[in-house]
Amino acid sequence: MQEAKLKAGEQEELEERYEELSNVETLTEHLGLAVNQIQQEDVGSLSGLKEVKTNLSKISKFSANYASLQERIESVIIELDDVAQELENSLERVEANPEELEQVNAKLQLIHNLQKKHAAGSVEELLEITNALNEKVALIENADADLEKLQQELLKSKKELERISLEISTKRKKIVPDFVKTVEKIVAELGMPNARLKIELTQQSEFFANGQDHLNWYLSANKGGDFNELKKAASGGELSRIMLAVKSILATQSNLPTIVFDEIDTGVSGDIAQKMGDILQKMGLSMQVIAITHLPQIAGKGSKHFKIFKEDIGETTVTKIEELTIDDRIEELAMMLGGNTKSESAMAHAKALLN
């Protein structure tokens, strides 16, 4: 469409010019007749109006009405004379020009073809399409430069991320030994005195939310044993104790307002459960600790208790939760200790746990 050199309103002008050039003989004939009818001395409109004016001028002094009519006729004569002049000018401009007619016809045909091709109803729509196509072309032509700019920005961002990741990794490597020792100390109190942990940092090519390090955890649970991957080497109870130790450290460092443990006591019992409960209770001094447990040693450490149970209502089973009173707490702990029976010894043990 660039070659067409379109202009707004051009189509209407070309169509009008095409009609003029295609009807030169008709225009010449009727423009000539119109000029003659107005200006012909004997019967022309101007000649007749001038006679009317002459007659009115002779009687205009007799009445204001006649004088007004004379002025109006003079105005009509002036206007008609101007029209006659325009007609003469138009008649002089009308001439046969086959070459221009061919050019106008070719331009109109080009416009029609473009309108059909681009489903446009006017030259203005074609111009809008042209502008849109020009923008796309400019975008494509500048694509290489834009891509290079984005690649430079990406490279800059990558270098910055690498710098930050290296800084984080350096701090991790510095703190890992002390962190491992603290975890080992806690799990030793939880019945794993010979447990040794090892954390290896492996830098990855991809970026994570907290750097580029991948942490590999290894465990040697027994004295003189080899290190193996934590998830393979640890039993369910050992994994629960290590997890509690790690979370207790991270929770205090992160200043969490609330932490939730869902059966963190899996695989443990007896004295170990008692010690896990002590850790949870200590954590509860600085944050809200919510623990879901089946062990009375851990449940007894809570300051508040909620019972979760299921109930059938019609054809539907719903899960409910209710806060327990002090008497309810004793009874629930007694049933946890005695297997759903509330013996005197179980009730006494429950009271001791709560105290």
Query: Could you report the per-residue pLDDT of 309-350, keeping only the tens digit for each?
Result: 899 998 899 999 999 999 999 988 888 887 766 778 888 888
Q: pLDDT by residue (tens digit) across 175-223?
A: 999 999 999 999 998 888 999 999 999 999 899 989 999 999 999 988 8
Give the number of domains in the chain: 4
318/342 same-domain check: yes
In a domain, 135, yes or no: yes
264/341 same-domain check: no
Instruction: Give the pLDDT band (50/70/90) at residue 31.
Output: low
Instruction: Give the pLDDT band (50/70/90) at residue 38.
Output: low
In a domain, 239, yes or no: no
- How far is C-alpha 61 from the chain's CA centre? 86
Is the Cβ–Cβ distance between 246 and 215 less than 8 Å? no
- Which of 234, 264, 290 is at the close of a domain? 234
323/295 same-domain check: no
For residues 114 and 121, what is the distance between their CA atoms, to the nearest angstrom? Answer: 10
- Average pLDDT value for residue range 131-136: 79
134/26 same-domain check: yes
**Residue 157 pLDDT exceeds 90:** yes
342/278 same-domain check: no
For residues 39 and 33, what is the distance between their CA atoms, to the nearest angstrom? Answer: 10
Place of tokens 């109930």: 311
Q: Which of 160, 166, 242 is nearest to 201 (CA)?
A: 166
**Residue 132 pLDDT exceeds 60:** yes
pLDDT of residue 220: 92
**Residue 168 pLDDT exceeds 80:** yes
For residues 325 and 343, what is the distance between their CA atoms, to the nearest angstrom? Answer: 19
Is the Cβ–Cβ distance between 158 and 37 less than 8 Å? no
Instruction: Give the pLDDT band (50/70/90) at residue 90.
Output: confident
- Which of 234, 253, 275 is at the close of a domain? 234
- Average pLDDT value for residue range 113-129: 77
Query: Which CATH number covers residue 226?
Result: 3.10.20
Name every residue whose Cβ is closer than 8 Å to that of residue 286 and which is 6 or more positions away in sequence.
Answer: 252
* Max CA distance (Å), the chain: 145
- How far is C-alpha 49 from the chain's CA centre? 77
pLDDT of residue 164: 95
Q: Which of 87, 117, 108 is nearest to 12 (CA)?
A: 108
279/155 same-domain check: no
In a domain, 308, yes or no: yes
For residues 196 and 233, what is the distance between their CA atoms, to the nearest angstrom? Answer: 12
| Residue 190 vs residue 120, higher pLDDT | 190
- Average pLDDT value for residue range 142-156: 87
Alpha-carbon separation of residue 184 from 195, 255, 298, 348 (angstroms): 7, 22, 21, 35
pLDDT of residue 218: 94
- Average pLDDT value for residue range 35-49: 65
Q: Enumerate long-range contacts of 52-59, CB under 8 Å, 24 or more apart.
A: 53/77
16/70 same-domain check: yes
Burial of 219 (0-12, 13-18, 19+ CB in 10 A): buried
pLDDT of residue 92: 75
248/350 same-domain check: no
Instruction: Give the pLDDT band (50/70/90) at residue 262.
Output: confident
pLDDT of residue 37: 60
251/164 same-domain check: no
262/288 same-domain check: yes
Query: What is the secondary structure of 229-291 as a DSSP string?
Result: EHHHH--HHHHHHHHHHHHHHHHHHHT-SEEEEESTTTT--HHHHHHHHHHHHHHTTTSEEEE
Is the Cβ–Cβ distance between 241 and 268 less than 8 Å? yes
248/224 same-domain check: no
| Residue 231 vs residue 109, higher pLDDT | 231
273/176 same-domain check: no
State which residues form the domain around 277: 244-299
In a domain, 32, yes or no: yes
pLDDT of residue 44: 64
- Which of 299, 322, 339 is at the close of a domain? 299
Percentage of the residues of the chain whose pLDDT score is greater than 70:
89
In a domain, 97, yes or no: yes
Instruction: Give the pLDDT band (50/70/90) at residue 224.
Output: confident
Average pLDDT of the chain is: 83
| Residue 158 vs residue 264, higher pLDDT | 158
Q: Enumerate long-range contacts of 167-171, CB under 8 Å, 24 or more apart.
A: 168/210, 168/211, 168/213, 169/201, 169/203, 169/211, 169/212, 169/213
